[in-house]
Chains A and B, each alone.
Chain A
Amino acid sequence: MKDIRTFSKSVRPAMRGFPTTPATPAQSGMPPGLFPADCDVVSFSGKTEDLQFGAKQKTSPLGLTGAWSKLSALAWDDLRRRDPDLDEFIDILDGKTTEDYLMDQILHDQFEVGEGGDIIIDKPRIKIPNFRHGNSDGNGGGGQGPGKGGQDGGQGQDPGQGQKAGDGKGNLKLMPWQHKYGPSEIAQIIGRKFGLPFLLPSDGESNRVRVTKENIKYVPPGDLHRKKTFRNALRRTVGGAVANGQDPDFNNITVNRSDKRYKATDFEPQPNLKVAIVYMADVSGSITDQLRDFTRTANRFVSYPLKYKYGQLAAELAGEDYSDAQYFGKDGSGEGSLKERFIVYTESAEETSEADFYKIRQDGGTRCSSGFNMAMEIIEKDYPPSEGWNVYVYHFTDGDNWGDTDNKNTVDTMKKMLNLGVRYIGHCDLGKKDNYPSDFRKAVLKEPSFKENPHVGSIGMPKKPKYDLDDYRQVVGTFLPANKEEPEWYDTAV
């Protein structure tokens, strides 16, 4: 048996058709600097020392010793580039990632929220029909369900390791089974799917801008506009003479009433672009997990279009191009962006973070007025409509409120809110059988001042085994009411 050293020397010259030195990154079309010189034997963690004999080995999740490394996004790219079949397959997957599929994933909570409001979903699986037993959904066979359900595969759970790699600009690199939608894309898709209307912001009394009006005819509210008046007189006198073939007389120009123009200064209201949403939810024992999920998804469907729409208006007024980065900032502090507050209540109310809002569960009865009172406080303190805030209040409960007195108090609070100038108060009854209105909703419906009031809306969402897109369409349609002047805003957007 020969020493491998001899083997190397004797064989190399005979291997025609192959480079005599290892392929460099440049030769294989890879970005320089990301891989060591010999890209073919590099381990996927990209560390050279893994290749050294006797290097310390990692332990795998299965307890196997040996170099256990996940395929990074970059390694995936490399694999895809060198394997035409994989490339073709991923193209096919991209083609199957449609808007309908996206909505389906959102309904089933199968997505991650990335930075700045991005939504990241897993691409669909391709099912190949064949003769098989059983009428289950097809997850019965095979035992492989990668890509779906972040909890099982572990893809959603620990994105830290090898899942995402920087592309040099600080953006995260997606794994090949993921697809990302930007917030404005999501907003437009929701708008199209739900046929959402144009929303008119309030005309802010607090937000007036000085405007000079010129060229006012006949009405003298302000000063005479001497320049324009004289110009008109000149045009009439001289122009008339020239038209008649006479010499104009510049020394004798008269101003009559029709020549006079006036100018005036005014303060005009500008649309308010500050938005706040206050979410309220009943977290008493009667609210089930299903209703909670419904609340969360409905809130998402409402907030994306709101954010996008106000952001776009702000950009328009400022004469800039709209950009997601500005209006869906990481911390939500972009100028035209939207503030969100979350209140949970049973007998007493409590303000929470967004994450807790959908998790907290408490014992106790239901007193709606406590939630509304706290919302009122928050609005008065932080988002007074008199200072130009567009405030939207959304409320979810199963409607089992304590007694008529509390219903009356709550309705009074709602009236006060409307008097303050809150843009919209939406109420949703959850889980009532046969959509029969709860006592609280009855009180809202009975209140005469709420009838035909475009700033209040209520809807009942009956108990169902499964909520579909139509149910969300009803709720979102109620919470973002149509404006008759400019319908179908989304069709013309961007």
Chain B
Amino acid sequence: MSIVNLTLAARALKKEPAYCKAPMQTTAMPVVPTRSASPEMPPQFGLAYRAYAAPHMSGLKFGNTQTPAPKASPTEASGEETPVATQHSRPIDYADDHLRDIWLSNDPRHEKRWLNANEDADRILKAAQAKGLDPQETAFMISSPAKLLQVAARGLPNMPHDWIHGMQLYDLAQNENAGLGHILELVLNTKPSVAYLLNTNTPVETRLVLAHVYGHTDFFKRNRFFKDTRPDQILEIIGRQRKELKSYVTDLSIPRDPNSSRNPVKEFMNKLHSIEDLIDRDAEEHPLADFEGTQYIQPVHPPEQFKKMTPAQLNQNDRYLYTAEDWLKMQEQLQKDAAPRKQKFPAGIERDLLGFLAKHSPTLSPWQRRILQMKREQQYYFLPQRQTKIMNEGWASFWHTKLVMEDPATTEDQISELSLLNGSVIARGQSGLNPYWLGFNMWQDLYIKAGLGVPLNQDTPPQYRKYDIHTISRVPQFDERKALARLYEVCAKERDYSFVEKYMTQSLAEKMELFKLEEEEGESPFSNHRKNSAAKAQAFQEVQNVLLGYLNYFGQPVLEVVDGDFENNGELLINHTYTTDSLNVEDTKQTVDIIASLWGRPVHLDTYMRKNPKNPASDLVAVRYTADPKKYEVQTFLREDRKATKPIQIENNGTLKI
């Protein structure tokens, strides 16, 4: 029997792909020159980011986009003029700093390069539109590498201040320094879209990146998961958040911890770093509901001794402590506790933990709820980009490959540079899974099948497997118009999980070498064809499972709030659905503790662990983590059904000490 070498699977088990990890990745790859502007640019152009309404884009025409300029923002319409501060008279503000990029693009030294880029942009956009692509209006900005990294670290240029962005910038810049990654372009899902072009890119790189950007902006407009992201307002929303958060940080009326010199708001934000991505990552719709008027759950908490004792058990001294009224209340409470609860809370299960805490936590102050809500809005804005990473990058790569190679201006001596660049962008990648590579190959495969009239979820016919995106046009039966029409349908309705589930086929996996069969000694591949084909089918199944495992909830633990009033005591019960692996012990303890401090009452997390962590086949043990904000340590219990039975000790390497 042949040995199945799951190259991808093996890597997958070791690491999550990098793109699943970064919480706020915008699509990043190549791109852009600033376009010429209409002469009637609004006078408050310089206030673009400060007003957060993107008015600087509203008055500009970028490229040859036919779309009319968006409506003027209310500020602009009212004709108010905000006084402009001098650039250097105060500490440099990050958001303001970006304005200079636009201005710098007027530097005559860039003239020739960006003139070429302007022509490229016009030509490529026309070619794209002729193929049926419908890119959103796109604003290009020329930027230095450092500024590109600054935006990439945040996801949006005017995110509220937080040192965590500094950490991401630090990592990005360090990677860039070590030659581990190079960002050529950055596109924001705004309206109009903003794309950053590097001033260090060559003209040829710029051309490729332009085409790539148009792929992204078309995808933003076309895919159904982006419809709730409010691209026209997001810069304003985030800008307001930034202001609001600043007002909290400087608010002296917020009580401080007398034992600490730190800012209470920043301390609170530090806690949120651990839980800020706990939203419903499967959500198809993005509920950005307004929270005003929500009733917070305020469970009645009888003193412990009230619950435990009957009146007869109370001793002489206690009788003097409580009045008759207290006795009555006590009796009522005892009866309430004894009676079964009528309604479960929450009614179903709630995966949006961030929203649940913001809505229902009994202890949080209003400003804390607001910060939670802001984080949640940010997360839901970025969610579709995470959900469609492979499709989105693949789509853009597919289009830049197609458009640039078919571009009449691409000369023969540029082709080698282009291929080299394109090859490195859609390369397989050294470690992890490169979404550009996977996405590009899948779109290419679909393109070929659709053009030939083969059902999309079936293997490519063997005689066509050697063709690629360019050479397929030589096949007489191939119909490009039909192919693209079909691709647009797929592009509009799928996201990564369904995309891979439906359209990853065995023939494609084989072509991409996602798995490989190794020959045994003395065995000829021809001698045992049937056995091998069974092995291949099995290997493909495993590969697809691994891929879907990544994409399902981004390969991260699925957590749900099961009960918000557990034990009738206002405690929180969270359930972890065991899929492939148990939770990291050390991190789980710390994170549960953080949630308990936000909930203000004990928080329980139910999960499973292997009896022997080194043996993946050993029995599962039901375990509960319990964090009480009044206690110093997080406790762990064995459990049975919904009851914790026995305290146990769990070591950081996952060993249980029963």
Contact among B146, B203, B278, B585 for A135, CB-based, below 8 A: B585
Contact among B118, B170, B202 for A86, CB-based, below 8 A: B170
Supposing A17-B84, A17-B85, A62-B179 touch, asked if A141 and B97 sit within 8 A by C-beta, the answer is no
Determine whether A57 belongs to the interface, using a CB cutoff of 8 Å to chain B. yes
B39 — which chain A residues lie within 8 A by C-beta? 10-11
B205 — which chain A residues lie within 8 A by C-beta? 64-66
Check B179–A60 contact: CB distance below 8 A: yes
Q: Bits for A1-20, please: 1 = Cβ < 8 Å to B, else 0.
A: 11111111011101111110
Chain B CB count within 10 A is highest, among A1, A4, A28, A136, for: A4
User: Once the chains are docked, how many angstroms separate the CA of A71 from the CA of B576?
Assistant: 43
Determine whether A51 belongs to the interface, using a CB cutoff of 8 Å to chain B. yes
Determine whether B356 belongs to the interface, using a CB cutoff of 8 Å to chain A. no
- Give the number of chain B interface residues (Cβ < 8 Å): 106
Check A129–B590 contact: CB distance below 8 A: yes
Question: Which residues 152-186 in B have Cβ within 8 Å of A in the complex?
Answer: 161-167, 169-171, 173-180, 182
Supposing A7-B106, A66-B205, A92-B163 touch, asked if A71 and B177 sit within 8 A by C-beta, the answer is yes
Question: Which residues 623-658 in B have Cβ within 8 Å of A in the complex?
Answer: 652-654
User: Once the chains are docked, how many angstroms separate the CA of A2 from the CA of B36?
Assistant: 6
Check B581–A134 contact: CB distance below 8 A: yes
Determine whether B231 belongs to the interface, using a CB cutoff of 8 Å to chain A. no
Chain B CB count within 10 A is highest, among A5, A22, A61, A82, for: A82
Check B104–A41 contact: CB distance below 8 A: yes
Interface stretch (choices A146-154, A255-263, A304-312, A483-491): A146-154
Check B145–A142 contact: CB distance below 8 A: no
Check B587–A153 contact: CB distance below 8 A: no
Determine whether A315 belongs to the interface, using a CB cutoff of 8 Å to chain B. no
Check B557–A132 contact: CB distance below 8 A: yes
A71 — which chain B residues lie within 8 A by C-beta? 145-146, 173, 176-177
Determine whether A223 belongs to the interface, using a CB cutoff of 8 Å to chain B. no
Question: Which residues 134-185 in A have Cβ within 8 Å of B in the complex?
Answer: 134-136, 138, 140-144, 146-147, 153-155, 162, 176-177
Interface size class of A (residues with CB under 8 A): 35 or more
Interface stretch (choices B394-402, B416-424, B504-512): B416-424
Contact among A17, A23, A62, A134 for B584, CB-based, below 8 A: A134
Smallest Cβ distance from A126 to chain B, in angstroms?
6
Question: Which residues 195-210 in B have Cβ within 8 Å of A in the complex?
Answer: 199-205
A335 — which chain B residues lie within 8 A by C-beta? none
Check B584–A132 contact: CB distance below 8 A: yes
Determine whether B8 belongs to the interface, using a CB cutoff of 8 Å to chain A. no
Check B21–A142 contact: CB distance below 8 A: yes
Check B200–A50 contact: CB distance below 8 A: yes
Check B107–A142 contact: CB distance below 8 A: no
Supposing A17-B87, A41-B107, A135-B653 touch, asked if A143 and B146 sit within 8 A by C-beta, the answer is no
Determine whether B43 belongs to the interface, using a CB cutoff of 8 Å to chain A. yes
B180 — which chain A residues lie within 8 A by C-beta? 144, 146, 153
Q: Bits for B9-52, please: 1 = Cβ < 8 Å to A, else 0.
A: 00000111110010000000000000111010101011100000
Determine whether A52 belongs to the interface, using a CB cutoff of 8 Å to chain B. yes
Check A133–B178 contact: CB distance below 8 A: no
Closest to A45 in B: B200
Determine whether A63 belongs to the interface, using a CB cutoff of 8 Å to chain B. yes
Supposing A10-B39, A65-B417, A129-B586 touch, asked if A41 and B144 sit within 8 A by C-beta, the answer is yes
Determine whether B447 belongs to the interface, using a CB cutoff of 8 Å to chain A. no
Check A85–B590 contact: CB distance below 8 A: no
Smallest Cβ distance from A325 to chain B, in angstroms?
30
Closest to B117 in A: A4
Supposing A66-B201, A132-B583 touch, asked if A85 and B161 sit within 8 A by C-beta, the answer is yes
User: Once the chains are docked, how many angstroms separate the CA of A7 from the CA of B111?
Assistant: 11
Contact among B14, B16, B92, B161 for A82, CB-based, below 8 A: B92
Determine whether B115 belongs to the interface, using a CB cutoff of 8 Å to chain A. yes
Determine whether A89 belongs to the interface, using a CB cutoff of 8 Å to chain B. yes
Determine whether A78 belongs to the interface, using a CB cutoff of 8 Å to chain B. yes
Check A7–B36 contact: CB distance below 8 A: yes
- 19 A-B pairs, CB-CB below 8 angstroms? A1-B122, A4-B36, A41-B104, A43-B200, A53-B112, A60-B182, A63-B423, A79-B150, A83-B150, A89-B170, A128-B273, A129-B274, A129-B591, A131-B583, A134-B581, A138-B587, A140-B15, A140-B16, A142-B15
Q: A65-B205, A131-B559 are in contact. List 13 more A-B contacts (CB 8 A).
A: A5-B111, A8-B108, A14-B43, A18-B103, A40-B144, A43-B144, A50-B200, A64-B420, A83-B166, A84-B94, A85-B161, A128-B273, A131-B556
Contact surface of B with A, Cβ cutoff 8 Å: 14-18, 21, 35-37, 39, 41, 43, 45-47, 64, 84-88, 91-92, 94, 97, 99-101, 103-104, 106-115, 118, 122, 144-146, 149-150, 161-167, 169-171, 173-180, 182, 199-205, 273-275, 277-278, 417, 420-421, 423-424, 431-432, 555-557, 559, 576, 580-588, 590-591, 594, 613, 652-654
Minimum-distance CB pairs A-B, first 5:
A89-B166, A17-B84, A85-B166, A146-B174, A129-B590
